[in-house]
Amino acid sequence: MRKRIAILGSTGSIGTQALEVIQQNPEIFEVEVITANNNVDILIAQAKKFQPNTVVIANPDNYKTVSEALKNEHIKVYAGTDALNQVVQMGPIDLVLTAMVGYSGLMPTYNAIKAGKNIALANKETMVVAGEIITKAALENKVEILPVDSEHSAIFQCLVGEFLNPVEKIYLTCSGGPFRGKTEKELQYVTVENALAHPNWDMGAKITIDSATLMNKGFEMIEACWLFGLLPAKVDVIVHPQSVIHSIVQFEDGSMKAQMGLPDMKLPIQYALGFPSRIKNSFPRFNFLDCPTLSFEPPNTNIFRNLALSFEAMGSGGNMPCILNAANEVVVESFLNKKISFLQMPAIIEKAMQKVEYIEKPTLDDLIQTNAETSRITKLLTEN
C-alpha cells in the first residue's frame, strides 16, 4: 500500500518540493491532505493535480474562493485553524509533513502526535517553542519524529545503527548566509533584497532572513538538543560555506560521521517520507573534483548576536526559547516590511527576552500565552 501523506504548508518551499518527490514516486506515496494559509491559486492548482481527499485553507476569508474552484472535484474543503488541527487526526493519514512556517505549526503538529501520526518535521519552531512537551507527547504516543531540515536529517542519518553509542558532540554546519565575513559597519546598510540573496539554498523569505541573521542556526541547535537528547554544550556550530557537509556526529571514541551531498532540500524530504527505505532518484550527484576544497570557520557571535541569544535561551530553558521565537517572528516581519534595520533585529529580540515574564516549567497554555504576550511587547519595541 502507498504511504498516505498530509502536507501542512503545501504551497511553501518545502511543501512544493515534497509534492515533486511524491509526483516522482506515485507507486510509493499518495497525497491525502494539503493545507495553506493564503496561497489560494497554488493550493487550488495542487489540489486539482494531486486530488487529495481533503484541502484546508487556514485563512477563512479564502474559503469561498477555494471551495468554488474545487466544487467539481471529489475533494473536501475546510477552512480555519480548528479545521487544520482536526484534519491531522484523520484515520487514513500515515505521515504528517509539517512544513508550515513559524509558531503556527505547533498546534497541528501536537494534535497529529496526540492522534498517533508519525511526523516528518520541517517546522523547527515547534521544537524551539515546546520541545519538551513535543518530545514527551511523541514518546507517550509511540510516534516517530523524522527530521526534514538538512542538518537534522544529516545527524539522523549518521545515527542510524548507532543509537546505542553515546554521542560526544554534534557539529551543525552553517553556510554563513549572504553576510559571512561582513563587519558590523557593513551590516548597517544591508537591504531586505541583500538579505534575501542566499548563496546556496532556495528557501522562503522568513527562513532566508533567519539564515542571514544566524537565527536559523540557533533554532537548529535548540531543535537538535530536543530531537537527539543533547545538552547545548554538546552542540557546536561551524561555518562551512560550500554547504556540502550537512552536519557531523562525533562519538565518544573520537570517530566522526558526516552526511554529504549537494544543497538540495528534496533529498532530506525524500529520506523522511520514505524512511526507513532509501528511494532511488535522478537528483544531481556531488562530484569531489568540482569542489576540491571544503573549508570551515567559527561563526562570529559578536556580530551575529542571534546565535548567542539562542544558546542563552536554551540555557535558561522554560519559556525562554518560546520568547526568542515569538520576538524573532515579529522582528523578521518588521524587517521584511522595511520598518527596522538588519542590526535592530537582535537588539529588539534581546530586549523582549528581558521584558517578558519567565516561566521555569511552562504548560502548553503557558506557551500559548507567552507567544501572544511576546508578540505584543515586541511589536511595541519595533515601533519605538
DSSP state letter for 174 = E
Tell me what pLDDT residue 197 has.
84
Pick from 332, 263, 339: which is nearest to 102 by CA?
Answer: 332
Q: Which residues pair with 55 in a beta bridge?
A: 34, 77
Model confidence pLDDT, tens digit, residues 141-154: 999 999 999 999 99
Confidence of residue 201 (pLDDT cuts 50, 70, 90): low
pLDDT of residue 178: 87
The CATH number that domain 3-143 falls under is: 3.40.50.720
Instruction: Please write the tens of the pLDDT for every residue from 73-98.
Output: 999 999 999 999 999 999 899 999 99
pLDDT exceeds cutoff 80 at 199: no
Burial readout 99-113 (b: 16 or more C-beta within 10 A, e: otherwise): bbbbbbbbbbbbbbb
Beta bridge partners of 35: 8, 56
Sequence ranges of the domains in the chain: 3-143, 154-262+285-383
CATH of 154-262+285-383, one of 1.20.120.420, 2.60.40.1930, 1.10.1740.10, 1.10.3720.10: 1.10.1740.10
Q: Under 8 Å CB-to-CB from 5, ≥6 apart: which residues?
A: 18, 22, 29, 30, 31, 32, 33, 93, 94, 95, 96, 97, 273
- How much is the pTM? 0.93
